[in-house]
Amino acid sequence: MAKNKNTEQKIFDAATELFMEKGVDRTSVRDIASKAGINLALMNYYFRSKENLFDAIFTNLVKENTKDLLNILDSDLGLEEKIRKYVDAYIDMLTTNPLLVPFFMAIIHRSQEKITQMKVISNLYGTEKFSQQIVDEGKAGTIRRTDPTHFFVDMISLITFPFAIRPLIMDRNEMSEEDFNNFIIERKEHITGLLLKSMKEC
Amino acid sequence: MAKNKNTEQKIFDAATELFMEKGVDRTSVRDIASKAGINLALMNYYFRSKENLFDAIFTNLVKENTKDLLNILDSDLGLEEKIRKYVDAYIDMLTTNPLLVPFFMAIIHRSQEKITQMKVISNLYGTEKFSQQIVDEGKAGTIRRTDPTHFFVDMISLITFPFAIRPLIMDRNEMSEEDFNNFIIERKEHITGLLLKSMKEC
DNA sequence: AATTGTTTAAAATCTAGTTTAAAACAATAT
DNA sequence: ATATTGTTTTAAACTAGATTTTAAACAATT
């Protein structure tokens, strides 16, 4: 039982990396086995099929990377502070793992039907509490009345889309990796400012 | 030579549809041949390889769908009117073909390296003239001084990202196709307002 | 009738996912 | 210690399907 978890984990980790880098359909089981340093058949032994392995990996990725964000949305912070923290945390997370967004985008296209049936997928989207907060503060008059659905879509669009088209932005503006990261850091303030301004009467 | 262009076009069209729907890697040459009603080997005869066919299709899709948008950006309209028209035209175009964005996102992930080398790819991004206009009007004081790179990224993020995550938005908000389209129509005004407001001093 | 371009059919080649069967290993019971 | 049992690993085979190549058939044109 010693090596058991170990092998399973090695397969899982190798496949995660490869799927994110090259895409699920361009990664063969032989690639995975070779990267994990294990025998071909072990993938099947532990995960039954490649598609099954993918499901496990995808579910895990969503869970791991949305936990903190959902906690922020559901916290008792005021709206401004909450948005600031959310934008910050989200961008930090994506900077750490810049392949996440492109990978998710590819998966949405690849596994459209399957994906909406996965329970974990609701993690990718906003929370009831946050929507309510926007409505409440609108009624209270601390902010302009704002449609929470549009607002949330605005927010995640502004945060995540640049990562989806990262190669284009870099190419077009002749940015190095470092330049891009700086650009993204600039965006933290920029996005927060934009969103807050959109909620102010003026 | 009568059927020549015809057959080539049939392959091209069938492949375009299938690639957009199911993704390049989940479409087989047999699928294409069968959908086009032609013999398997004809794909090779006309396009040499599947990857080659894909390149031709991708280039064509980008060209076809960016022409009008680039014309708007390069026109002599005032900034406000230009933004209004651009948002409108872009959203109309994507509504007509809601698979375009998810497909492009998947391709960016799939063909990262290749893509930045394609000449056509610069079409996907803003124009020099538009950037200059933002800088100029900022200096002239008709708008707040605005970084054109951030502004342009904001604009295309807000316009296109909702299409990239369409299934999630629909699922989360229990929208039908029609509901989603109405949501998107709402966004025309919403996005234009947001962008213009962001450029106003206040 | 010959040439050229187009289409078809069949075969070869290659790649990939999955399965099988047997061997190696580890733990536990005898 | 030996045997038994269950788990893990290995190597090879199987299956299916994809792409590509080759050669033959066909059609149109010269």
Give the model confidence (pLDDT) of A134-183 as tens digits: 999 999 999 999 999 999 999 999 999 999 999 999 999 999 999 999 99
Q: Out of A105, A172, A200, whose CB is closest to B105?
A: A105
Q: Confidence class of residue A123 from pLDDT cuts 50, 70 and 90?
A: confident
Residue B56 tokens read as: 């031709």
CA distance A154 to B177: 20
Give residue-wise pLDDT tens across range A24-80.
Answer: 999 999 999 999 999 999 999 999 999 999 999 999 999 999 999 999 999 999 999
- Which among A67, A60, A55 is positioned nearest to A117, based on CA atoms? A55
DSSP state, residue B200: S
In this prediction, residue B122 carries a pLDDT of 86
CA angle A138, A81, A177 (to 5 degrees): 120
Residue in the block written with tokens 């950037």:
B131
The H-assigned helical ranges of B97-176 are 100-110, 112-117, 128-140, 148-164, 166-172
A182: contact with B, CB 8 A cutoff: no
Task: Check A171 against B116: CB less than 8 A apart.
Answer: yes
In this prediction, residue A5 carries a pLDDT of 53
B190: contact with A, CB 8 A cutoff: yes
Which of A60-68's residues contact partners 24+ apart within 8 Å by CB, and which partners? A60/A12, A60/A16, A61/A16, A61/A100, A61/A103, A62/A118, A62/A120, A62/A121, A62/A123, A62/A124, A63/A120, A63/A123, A65/A93, A65/A97, A65/A100, A66/A123, A66/A124, A68/A93
pLDDT for residue A95 is more than 80:
yes
Query: Is the Cβ–Cβ distance between A168 and A103 less than 8 Å?
Result: no
Q: Which stretches of chain B score pLDDT less than 50? A: 1-4
| Interhelix angle A50-73/A2-22, nearest 10 degrees | 80
CA distance B53 to A162: 28
DSSP state, residue B75: S
List every span in chain B annotated with CATH 1.10.10.60. 1-48
Q: CA A101 from chain center: how many Å?
A: 6
Closest-CA distance, A99 to chain B, in angstroms, reads: 9
Task: Check B157 against A153: CB less than 8 A apart.
Answer: no
Give residue-wise pLDDT tens across range B32-87.
Answer: 999 999 999 999 999 999 999 999 999 999 999 999 999 999 999 999 999 999 99
Assign a CATH topology to domain A54-199: Tetracycline Repressor; domain 2 (1.10.357)
Consecutive H or E run containing A155: helix A148-164
In this prediction, residue B5 carries a pLDDT of 55
CA distance B56 to B32: 15
In this prediction, residue A2 carries a pLDDT of 33
Query: Is the Cβ–Cβ distance between B85 and B77 less than 8 Å?
Result: yes
List every span in chain B annotated with CATH 1.10.357.10. 54-199
Assign a CATH topology to domain B1-48: Arc Repressor Mutant, subunit A (1.10.10)
CA of A6 to C1' of C20 (A): 25
In this prediction, residue A60 carries a pLDDT of 97
CA angle A8, A9, A10 (to 5 degrees): 95
A144: contact with B, CB 8 A cutoff: no
CA distance B144 to A7: 58
A112: contact with B, CB 8 A cutoff: yes
Query: Is the Cβ–Cβ distance between B56 and B12 less than 8 Å?
Result: yes
Task: Check A105 against B164: CB less than 8 A apart.
Answer: yes
Q: Which residues contact B100 (CB under 8 A, 6 or more apart)?
A: B20, B61, B65, B93, B94, B163
In this prediction, residue A170 carries a pLDDT of 96
> Looking at this protein, which amino acid is placed at residue B20?
M
Question: What b/e readout covers A30-51, taking b as 16+ CB neighbours within 10 angstroms?
Answer: eebbebbebeeebbeebbeebe
In this prediction, residue B183 carries a pLDDT of 98
